[in-house]
């Protein structure tokens, strides 16, 4: 068997900014920071450089969310670090969090690990149902509502404007913190949609995001944007929880220097086009297999493709069979807050080249055929 084709997700080893380039920048930033800390004359403190990076993002990638104010940004170790930071400040074990029925696997893991009670609110690809949310807010008295309206995980759907506004209104009326997971927002396939999603955050809303995987190799830069509680608490910037999840000064300095030389917007445009093209190749190859009763949700953006398998086929069982053939992916059940559908899987297409997509889909089809035997291959 040839090498494993990995469609599990995660972070690729390389990116549009190479690992060697980023490592050199980090090493240079570390050396400069050490010289300033211990040398005879300081040229630029870490806090000054952090403020500079905030201003770079506020005037660039996050201008729409922040209104150009760097004070509304906290840098973190990826979007997962941002969510963990908020959980540590805003929630206590036993608190209730409301989510979409189908949502981020890593977010569900983070909530449950922290002792939260997670309840699902019904909805569809247009977004969380406002009336169902009203009922859930009254019934469960949650401390937080967690959603991903710009590019949902794992389907890659984009909420309607009406659903976004209704959910915001209901959370604000109930006095409940709304956390919006925008980690895939910059990878909406249409540039106009990506730009329109960048709207200034309302009071009571925190947005978490990150530079997408595949942009800067070896770097996990995330952030929290907004001014809602608990951001205003003194412990949010200086406590142990903050130190655990905050992006380090060396990485901040390296990123600031990179942005001065290479603006991120053109690189994001390239990555967006790459993801869209690889999604097209993936769906084309799946269509050519002619697998009876295999379906997928057409994503509006992001890194993943959500597959619904033929009835009766379990994603966990399929993974075990496909692994023997050299292709792996994420079973779908862990993405459900309640009532999981076992005949689902998530495929991360964004980091696969054309050869891997062709070979991987062929191996996946063989594995499905061994379980179902419901079609003959062309």
Residues 6 or more apart in contact with residue 78 via CB below 8 angstroms: 210, 220, 221, 222
In whole angstroms, give the CA distance from residue 199 to residue 142: 26
Which residue has tokens 């907004």? 226
Does the structure show a pLDDT above 70 at 232?
no
Report the CATH number of the 19-264 domain: 3.40.640.10
In whole angstroms, give the CA distance from residue 357 to residue 38: 51
Tell me which DSSP letter residue 247 carries.
P
pTM: predicted TM-score of the whole model, two decimal places: 0.93
Give the model's pLDDT for residue 49. 66
Domain positions in the chain: 5-13+266-371, 19-264
Give the model's pLDDT for residue 85. 95
Q: How far is CA 298 from CA 24, 124, 157, 205, in A?
A: 39, 14, 8, 28
- Classify the C-alpha dihedral 203-99-190-268 as positive or negative: positive
pLDDT, one tens digit per residue, over 48-82 is 667 899 999 999 999 989 988 888 899 999 999 99
Give the model's pLDDT for residue 50. 74
In whole angstroms, give the CA distance from residue 169 to residue 229: 17
In whole angstroms, give the CA distance from residue 59 to residue 113: 36
DSSP for 106-151? HHHHHHHHTT-EEEEE-EETTEE-HHHHHHHHHHH--SEEEE--SS
Q: What is the dihedral of CA 82, 87, 90, 96, to 10 degrees?
A: 140
Provide mean pLDDT across the span 171-188.
Answer: 96
Is 5-13+266-371's fold the same as 19-264's? no
Chain mean pLDDT for the chain: 91
In whole angstroms, give the CA distance from residue 229 to residue 203: 9
Give the model's pLDDT for residue 191. 77
Cβ-in-10-Å burial (0-12, 13-18, 19+) of 83 comes to buried
Provide mean pLDDT across the span 94-122.
Answer: 97
- CATH class assigned to 5-13+266-371: alpha beta
Residue closest to 223 by CA, chosen among 180, 187, 191:
180
Q: Is beta strand 177-181 parallel, antiparallel or unpaired with respect to 144-147?
A: parallel
Cβ-in-10-Å burial (0-12, 13-18, 19+) of 271 comes to buried
Give the model's pLDDT for residue 35. 82
pLDDT, one tens digit per residue, over 29-55 is 999 888 876 655 555 555 666 789 999
Give the model's pLDDT for residue 378. 41
Give the model's pLDDT for residue 374. 47
Check: CB of residue 337 under 8 Å from CB of residue 100. yes
Give the model's pLDDT for residue 375. 42
Give the model's pLDDT for residue 242. 81
Measured distance between the N- and C-terminal CA atoms of the chain, rounded to whole angstroms? 23
DSSP for 331-352? ESGGGBSSS--SSEEEEE-TT-
What tokens appear for 343 in the block? Answer: 């005949």
- Find the largest Cα–Cα distance for the chain: 76
For 348: left if phi > 0, alpha if psi spans -120 to 50, otherwise beta; the answer is: beta
Give the model's pLDDT for residue 277. 97
- Which of 242 and 86 is assigned the larger pLDDT? 86
Does the structure show a pLDDT above 90 at 202?
no
Q: What is the dihedral of CA 190, 192, 195, 197, to 10 degrees?
A: -80
Cβ-in-10-Å burial (0-12, 13-18, 19+) of 220 comes to middle
Give the model's pLDDT for residue 243. 85
Give the model's pLDDT for residue 203. 85
Model confidence at 371, in pLDDT bands (50, 70, 90)? confident
Give the model's pLDDT for residue 134. 97
């Amino acid at each position: 068997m040839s090498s494993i084709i990995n469609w599990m997700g995660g972070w690729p080893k390389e990116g549009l900014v190479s690992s060697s380039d980023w490592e050199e920048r980090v090493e240079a930033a570390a050396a400069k920071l050490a010289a300033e800390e211990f040398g005879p004359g300081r040229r630029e403190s870490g806090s000054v450089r952090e403020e500079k990076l905030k201003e770079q993002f506020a005037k660039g990638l996050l201008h729409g969310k922040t209104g150009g104010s760097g004070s509304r940004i906290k840098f973190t170790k990826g979007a997962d670090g941002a969510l963990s930071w908020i959980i540590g400040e805003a929630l206590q074990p036993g608190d209730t969090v409301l989510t979409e029925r189908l949502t981020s696997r890593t977010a569900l893991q983070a909530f449950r690990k922290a002792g939260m009670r997670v309840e699902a609110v019904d909805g569809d690809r247009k977004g969380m149902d406002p009336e169902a949310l009203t009922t859930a807010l009254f019934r469960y008295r949650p401390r937080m509502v967690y959603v991903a309206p710009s590019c949902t995980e794992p389907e890659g759907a984009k909420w309607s404007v009406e659903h976004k506004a209704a959910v915001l209104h209901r959370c604000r009326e109930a006095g409940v913190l709304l956390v919006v997971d925008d980690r895939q927002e910059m990878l909406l396939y249409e540039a106009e949609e990506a730009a329109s999603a960048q709207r200034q955050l309302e009071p009571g809303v925190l947005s978490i995001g990150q530079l997408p995987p595949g942009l800067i190799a070896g770097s996990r830069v995330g952030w929290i944007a907004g001014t809602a509680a608990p951001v205003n608490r003194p412990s949010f910037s200086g406590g142990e929880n903050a130190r655990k999840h905050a992006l380090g000064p060396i990485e901040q300095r390296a990123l600031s220097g990179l942005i001065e030389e290479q603006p991120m917007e053109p690189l994001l445009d390239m990555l967006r086009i790459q993801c869209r093209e690889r999604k097209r190749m993936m769906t084309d190859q799946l269509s050519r297999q002619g697998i009876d009763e295999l379906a997928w949700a057409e994503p509006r953006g992001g890194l993943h493709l959500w597959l619904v398998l033929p009835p009766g086929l379990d994603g966990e069982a399929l993974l075990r069979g496909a692994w023997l053939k050299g292709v792996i992916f994420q079973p779908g059940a862990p993405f459900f807050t309640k009532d999981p559908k076992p005949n689902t899987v998530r495929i991360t297409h964004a980091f696969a080249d054309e050869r891997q997509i062709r070979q991987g889909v062929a191996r996946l089809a063989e594995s499905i055929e061994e379980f179902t035997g419901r079609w003959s291959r062309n």
